[in-house]
Amino acid sequence: MILADRIVELRKKKGWSQEELAEMIDVTRQSVSKWESGQSLPDLDKILKLADIFGVSTDYLLKDKDTYEGQPINREEEKAQEKYVTTEEVTDFLRIKQQTAPKVALGVSLCIVSPIILILLAGAAEYGIINATEDRMAMLGTAILILIVAAAMAIMIPAGMKSSKYEYLEKEPIALDPETKNMISSLKDEFQAEFGRKIALGVCLCVISVMPLFIAGVVMDPEDGFHFVVAVALLLLIVSVAVNIFVRAGIRQESYEKLLEEGDYTREEKDKLLDTISGIYWLLVTAIYLAYSFATFEWHRSWIIWPVAGVLYVIIREIYKAIKNK
């Protein structure tokens, strides 16, 4: 394995023991030993740190230079208009995704919880918990909702812009050298167990999220409607946590699939028309959600628009693919 050989070569050239190298990058000696024997791969941040410590590029660590330097251009690949992605670009893309995934997930979660204060204030006014008119509390809650959504946008937009230079990964066929591709495949394989656990946890939270409504309906006094208001708020809060988990795990999984051209990012799936349709569709869904919610102030019901829209999107996408492949 190229990476294992490079680590051994560079460590010995520096005159360091495995213990000394391990201390520099804050891992155990056993971890370094496994890397050098090819039993495991270092995480992306450790690869970047190794390159920095050894004073080399990640390309040098991960690629067999003798194999790829001076290699003649393959004219068939050139005709296919494949965009060659260097190891440096791969590591930079994965690093950006790791850094921005928590921010995007936080922004999405904030959008989901943004109606909670509005729901609680309006409900408290309606059931006499607060000595104020329902309209006044609704206006205050709406103002807070707008501020929360604005904060979410302020978090998500810069995070999205950081990876905008790699948008071509979603739309164009790409070429990777075998060593880099093997590294990505190994990282993806190592992540699969964690990905499965996170998806399972998110699904469990979505199922549990309806429990406050059942408890409010069965245990609480049916004449005290404010319990249902609180239950809806708890439902949104639990769903926001589940979605946060989905988004963080999904972005990481998606980053591997984009580089390996798997899943929704195979060359057959890279369809600019489908991207346009998707963008228009979700803009319409957002407009419908906001228009209905602000017109009726039934935020405790309008959230159902999103799961329904998600199911419809999958159906529309599969119909489009079926028509296209005829």
CB-based contact 206:307 (threshold 8 Å):
no
Q: Please report the pLDDT score of residue 67 as a whole number.
A: 40
Mean of pLDDT values over 71-75 = 39
Among 234, 232, 231, 241, CA closest to 205: 241
Its pTM stands at: 0.67
CB 287 within 8 A of CB 212: no
pLDDT above 50: residue 73: no
| Percent with pLDDT over 90 in the chain | 18
* CATH number, position 22: 1.10.260.40
The answer to whether residue 7 is domain-embedded is: yes
d(CA 23, CA 211): 48
1 pLDDT above the threshold of 60: no
Helices assigned H by DSSP within the chain: 2-14, 18-24, 29-37, 44-54, 58-62, 65-68, 75-79, 87-113, 116-126, 134-162, 168-171, 178-208, 211-218, 226-260, 272-296, 299-302, 305-324
Residue 224: what pLDDT?
A: 67
Q: How far is CA 207 from CA 65, 105, 203, 239, 305, in A?
A: 51, 20, 6, 9, 17
63 falls within a domain: yes
Is the pLDDT at 79 greater than 90? The verdict is no
Asked whether the CA dihedral 137, 140, 144, 145 is positive or negative, the reply is positive
Q: How confident is the model at residue 323 (pLDDT cuts 50, 70, 90)?
A: low
Distance of CA 86 to the CA centre of its chain: 23
For the stretch 137-179, pLDDT in tens is: 888 888 998 899 899 999 988 988 888 888 888 778 888 888 8
Indicate whether 47 belongs to any domain.
Answer: yes
End of a domain among 67, 90, 114? 67
The DSSP secondary-structure symbol of 63 reads S
Judge contact between 61 and 4, C-beta under 8 A: no
Residue 11 forms part of a structural domain: yes
Can you tell me the distance from the alpha carbon of 286 to that of 279, in angstroms, rounded to the nearest whole number?
11
pLDDT value of residue 324:
57
If 0-12 CB within 10 Å is exposed, 13-18 middle and 19+ buried, where does residue 40 land? Answer: middle
Q: What is the number of other CB atoms lying within 10 angstroms of the CB of residue 169?
A: 22
Q: Which of 20, 36, 67 is the last residue of a domain?
A: 67
Domain boundary among 50, 67, 84: 67
Number of domains in the chain: 2
In a domain, 76, yes or no: no
Side-chain-side CA neighbours of residue 51 (13 Å): 20
Give the model's pLDDT for residue 244: 92
Confidence of residue 68 (pLDDT cuts 50, 70, 90): very low
**CA–CA dist 173, 267 (Å, integer):** 6
Residue 242 lies in a domain: no
> CB atoms < 10 A from the CB of 48, how many?
18
Residue 301 domain-assigned? yes
* Domain membership of residue 292 as a residue range: 271-326
Q: Is the pLDDT of residue 219 over 50?
A: yes
Does residue 42 belong to any structural domain of this protein?
Answer: yes
The residues, any chain, with a CB within 8 Å of residue 317's CB and separated by 6 or more, are 274, 278
Per residue in 271-306, pLDDT (tens digit) is 555 666 777 887 888 888 878 877 776 766 676 787
